[in-house]
Structure 1
Amino acid sequence: MPAQQTIALLGAPGTGAPALAEALQHRLADSAMTTQELAVADAPQLPTAIRHTLHSAAITLLMGLDLPCAAPEQARREACDAHLRALLADAAVRYHVVYGQGPERVENALNAINSIAVKPYVISANDVSDAKPMRLRAWDCEKCSDPECEHRLFSALTGRGAADR
């Protein structure tokens, strides 16, 4: 059984982090992923426990500011969001911002989660199973020149995987 992985959720008050956490937990019930909503107080830096959780999380999702609210509340949300982004940048935490309302937000979050998913094995050009996991980060092809790497990148970009052969 694969190790449990955490999806960290952050957001300004009223941006829907609890609802998204619940919806994702329901949708990902059969997987080895769990959601964890993190409440970050107005502090100059992230507490050590939250920093550790964010660095060990499979992905960090930050709620977008697109949910409707009153104008005075929106100004407070924007200030909190700017503070959260600064804390994440200071802690060197990569994150994805999730927008949308209701099911659209859940789908956008799932798309972000799928964008970092690791496939256990990569099929090489010879249809031989390699025991190498796919890389999580974007390729730097200007300096790479590895033909298998370029093939995997091209296949991924065109949507052609091993199943299409």
Structure 2
Amino acid sequence: MTPSLSAGCVIAVLGAESTGKTALAGALTERLTQRGIVATLVPEYLREWCEREGRTPRPDEQAAIAAEQSRRIALAARQGVAVADTTALMTAVYSELLFDDRSLHADALAAQAGYAVTLLTALDLPWVADGLQRDGPHVREPVDALVRAALGRGGISYAVVHGSGGERLSNAWNALNLAAQSEAPAARRPAGRAREGWQWSCEKCSDPVCEHRLFTELVARRS
């Protein structure tokens, strides 16, 4: 069987500020490419928006930012695997935290449920300032709690990624391998339904042949 990459899939990296989302998403994209998988990194649109406007968004601007993030992820997924450095769910969470606005959750969770893998970066990295993008270390735990609660309400399975540097990448890679092994064919899974809970099958997996097979199975939606 020759897998088709046209429908693609999404690996979503979520997490509170200063938890290494951007570095992890970039490292995953690079490693996937090295393994022969067509992968595209989707940067955080909010960062681009803030740099362009020179400020953080108002409450009424949040929905458009979330929609644009989802649009860019969907566009990248048409080419193969999209590795998303955050998704609309993070915009929804911050809208709830900062503006007491929960209106973005429904659309964000609907999009998140269609992604192949959700990784949540742990709070074990030191907080680092980053201009307009950072509110301070005191918001990390509330944001983390809101993300977990949202994923729980949506019935979306996720893996928490701990460690620093290469260890963090290895732990994320193991989670991806596990998700690939447990992924049910789309034809047998009801639309919008998240995968059942994952179970670890091995501590380390670094065999390129094995990894390539697992990921091509993950992105294959039809033969």
TM-score, normalising length: structure 2: 0.49
SS at 2:171 equivalent: helix
The one of 141, 158, 162 aligned to 1:78: 141
Closer/same/farther in 2, CA of residues 100 and 47 from structure 1, 3 Å limit: same
Q: Is the 8 A contact 1:64 1:99 kept in 2?
A: yes
Moved >4 Å (runs of 4+): 136-139
Question: Does residue 1:33 correspond to 2:81, yes or no?
Answer: yes
Q: Which residue of 2 aligns with 1:91?
A: 154
Q: In the aligned structure 2, how far is the partner of 1:65 from the partner of 1:105?
A: 12
Q: Which residue of 1 aligns with 2:95?
A: 42
Question: Does residue 1:101 correspond to 2:164, yes or no?
Answer: yes
Q: In the aligned structure 1, how far is the partner of 2:197 from the partner of 2:153?
A: 22
Q: Is the 8 A contact 1:45 1:87 kept in 2?
A: no
Which residue identity does 1:13 align to in structure 2? E
The alignment covers a number of residue pairs equal to 126
Deviation of the 1:46 alpha carbon: 4.9
Structure index of larger Rg: 1
The one of 10, 17, 26 aligned to 2:14: 10
Deviation of the 1:51 alpha carbon: 1.7
Q: Is the 8 A contact 1:63 1:98 kept in 2?
A: yes
Closer/same/farther in 2, CA of residues 100 and 57 from structure 1, 3 Å limit: same
Which residue identity does 2:119 align to in structure 1? L
Of all paired residues, the percent bearing the same amino acid is: 36
Q: Is the 8 A contact 1:20 1:106 kept in 2?
A: yes
Structure 1 unaligned spans of 5+: 121-135, 140-155, 158-165
Instruction: Give 1 or 2: higher helix fraction.
Output: 2
SS at 1:78 equivalent: helix
TM-score, normalising length: structure 1: 0.64
Q: Which has the higher contact order (CA 8 A, sep 6+)?
A: 2
Which 10-residue stretch deviates more, 92-101 or 40-49? Answer: 40-49
Q: In the aligned structure 2, how far is the partner of 1:50 from the partner of 1:102?
A: 29
Closer/same/farther in 2, CA of residues 101 and 45 from structure 1, 3 Å limit: farther
Q: Which residue of 1 aligns with 2:24?
A: 20
Q: Which residue of 2 aligns with 1:58?
A: 116
| RMSD, aligned α-carbons | 2.9
